[in-house]
């Protein structure tokens, strides 16, 4: 049949290349292969096949090399070409350009370009094979199996479960193409690590994409409990009475406008002995209307993802637990909706946080910092070594950094250095922002209370004044605040992430925790 298709193609009987591909795919069991190649070191030279691709080509009588030579004149980094007639048990092979060999750390970009090139190339390859109907895909590790797995699984993510069955993308089973490799065990281990990291981020993406009516605070708590208890994490779901008993007035002031009851999640992963642990705090606003200070209607639907901090927190915990990282982690997630109603907090109201500080709420749309204030206070009662919070906190960080990097505010340069190095490896970058007394004065000079939930100069330095507000509720000497509003969504900036909610910076946080664990054990 394959030979017949080739003859038809040559004779010009098949004018539609897509039809030809579909026929060929159906014959060879929908099995595809992604192989890598590198740009030539010097212009005019031939592309270089990866080790796996070269070994594969030897078994196919140099058909792959001939195909690359004849079709790769315009092939650029991240691009790919598809070979159909390979006589090797695969209905189609996507040959992907990984860029130049030897690419590494780019200081200007603060990026490990080699690993990012692999993610991009592999993601493009597996998506193309899926579009051709392949449901079983093997992937060349391209020199870094972890990065290849990340590109594969992140690239295939799609949220379409609420669509009709015939409108959903086909599910693809992926695996590492290890047959020609010498150290198969090591390569497979790296692949599994990359897969787990991608799964953690994809879970965060899935939660962020879920419509708010399907992911209320109660439903979020149920999903997380089911998922993380299977990984031997302890999960406690606290109700409104518990929140009131803890005197979390700042958190409750946001929740009171909604008919949905608030929840407070406590999660513990015990990866090491003793009481030493690190704390993660995630903002869990499952829908943000802005409250009485209501948001514009345009794009308000995106506020289903205002629980991105909570989603990335549980996504990171998922990966940490599955990787058995030897460190203990406790997570604290305040969950509620921010809605306008007759019971909602009004601009100008004064509320009291768990630590006794009073807060003048001049803008009810600056609600994330209100629920985080109480969560931070509570997390610190357990004396953690470090506190890291994540929140889609301010539009101002999007104005400042866009989707290029997560904004980080911290009182600890050593912790910043570890986080920054982690982001270089993951390709999910972070950027340090100022945490100056200059901004503190703008939130502590309040007419009616100890602090104001917005800076006195309103929009100026909005991300910085939000961080300064949070600092008023932090006593830990190792605190990092990650404002992830700018990286909440992906359009086309990150090639290996599809359009939609991004789940960033889940993998960077996991890598950061891994490095902390290594430091503790050394």
Structural contact between residues 283 and 390, judged by C-beta atoms closer than 8 angstroms:
yes
How far, CA to CA in Å, does 272 sit from each of 228, 385, 433, 505?
A: 17, 13, 32, 24
Angle at 166 between CA 164 and CA 172, to 5 degrees: 110
Considering the candidates 115, 119, 369, 507, report the single residue annotated as catalytic: 369
> What is the torsion angle, in degrees rounded to the nearest 10, for the CA atoms of residue 127, residue 139, residue 488 and residue 402?
-90
456: which DSSP letter?
Answer: T
The H or E element that residue 237 is part of is strand 234-238
The H or E element that residue 380 is part of is helix 368-380
335: helix, strand or coil: strand
Distance separating alpha carbons of residues 176 and 156, to the nearest angstrom: 15
Please name the residue that has the structure tokens 């945490």: 435
Residue 505: is the preceding peptide bond cis (ω within 30°)? Answer: yes
515: its two tokens: 């490095």
Structural contact between residues 137 and 33, judged by C-beta atoms closer than 8 angstroms:
yes
87: which DSSP letter?
Answer: S
378: helix, strand or coil: helix
By residue count, the chain amounts to 522
Distance separating alpha carbons of residues 101 and 199, to the nearest angstrom: 28
Contacts 24+ apart (CB under 8 A), 102-107: 105/424
Catalytic-residue membership of 295: yes
User: Which residues have CB under 8 Å from 366's CB, separation 6+?
Assistant: 293, 453, 454, 466
Considering the candidates 169, 295, 302, 421, report the single residue annotated as catalytic: 295
Give the DSSP per-residue string, 239-273: -HHHHHHTT-HHHHHHHTTSSSPPEEEEEEE--SS
Torsions phi, psi of 455, nearest 5? -70, 150
Distance separating alpha carbons of residues 386 and 407, to the nearest angstrom: 18
Catalytic-residue membership of 6: no
User: Which residues have CB under 8 Å from 464's CB, separation 6+?
Assistant: 396, 409, 433, 434, 435, 436, 439
Structural contact between residues 202 and 154, judged by C-beta atoms closer than 8 angstroms:
yes
Which of 513, 431, 438, 500 has its CA nearest to residue 206? 500
HSE-up (13 A, CA, CB side) for residue 389: 36
Q: List residues with catalytic annotation.
A: 295, 369
């Amino acid at each position: 049949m394959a030979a017949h298709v080739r003859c038809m193609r040559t004779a010009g009987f098949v004018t539609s290349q897509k039809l030809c591909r579909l026929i060929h795919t159906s014959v060879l069991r929908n099995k595809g292969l992604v192989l890598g190649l590198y740009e030539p070191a010097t212009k005019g030279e031939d592309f270089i096949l990866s080790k796996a691709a070269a070994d594969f080509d030897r078994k196919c009588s140099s058909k792959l090399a001939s195909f690359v030579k004849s079709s790769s004149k315009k092939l650029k980094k991240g691009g790919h070409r598809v070979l159909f007639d390979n006589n090797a048990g695969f209905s189609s092979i996507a040959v992907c350009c990984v860029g130049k060999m030897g690419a590494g750390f780019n200081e200007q970009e603060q990026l490990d370009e080699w690993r990012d090139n692999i993610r991009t190339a592999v993601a493009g390859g597996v998506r193309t094979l899926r579009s051709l109907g392949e449901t079983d895909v093997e992937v060349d590790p391209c020199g870094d199996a972890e990065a290849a797995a990340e590109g594969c699984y992140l690239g295939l993510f799609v949220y379409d479960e609420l669509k009709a069955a015939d409108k959903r993308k086909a599910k693809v089973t992926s695996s590492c193409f290890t047959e020609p490799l010498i150290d198969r065990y090591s390569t497979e281990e790296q692949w599994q690590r990359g897969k787990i990291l991608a799964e953690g981020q994809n879970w965060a993406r899935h939660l962020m994409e879920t419509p708010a009516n399907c992911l209320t605070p109660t439903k979020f708590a149920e999903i997380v409990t089911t998922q993380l208890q299977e990984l031997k994490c302890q999960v406690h779901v606290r109700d409104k009475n518990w929140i009131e008993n803890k005197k979390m007035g700042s958190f409750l002031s946001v929740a009171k406008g909604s008919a949905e009851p608030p929840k407070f999640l406590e999660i513990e992963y015990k990866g090491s002995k003793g009481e030493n642990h690190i704390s993660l705090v995630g903002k869990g606003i499952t829908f943000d209307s802005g409250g009485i200070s209501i948001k514009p209607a345009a794009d308000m639907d995106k506020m289903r993802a205002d629980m991105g901090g909570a989603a990335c927190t549980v996504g990171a915990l998922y990966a940490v637990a599955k990787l058995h990282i030897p460190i203990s982690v406790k997570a604290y997630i305040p969950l509620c909706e921010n809605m306008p109603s007759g019971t909602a907090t009004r601009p100008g109201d004064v509320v009291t946080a768990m630590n006794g500080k009073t807060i003048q709420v001049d803008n009810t749309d600056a609600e994330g910092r209100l629920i985080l204030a109480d969560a931070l206070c509570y997390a610190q009662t357990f004396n953690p070594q470090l506190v890291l919070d994540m929140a889609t906190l301010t539009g101002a960080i999007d104005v400042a950094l866009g989707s290029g990097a997560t904004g980080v505010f911290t009182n600890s340069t050593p912790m910043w250095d570890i986080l920054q190095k982690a982001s270089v490896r993951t390709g999910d970058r972070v950027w340090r922002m100022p945490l100056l007394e200059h901004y503190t004065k703008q939130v502590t000079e309040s007419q009616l209370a100890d602090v104001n939930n917005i800076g006195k100069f309103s929009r100026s330095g909005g991300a910085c004044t939000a961080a300064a507000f949070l600092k008023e509720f932090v006593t830990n000497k190792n605190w990092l605040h990650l404002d992830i509003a700018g990286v909440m969504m992906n359009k086309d900036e990150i090639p290996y992430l599809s359009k939609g909610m991004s789940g960033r910076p889940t993998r960077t946080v996991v890598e950061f925790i891994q490095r902390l664990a290594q430091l503790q054990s050394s």
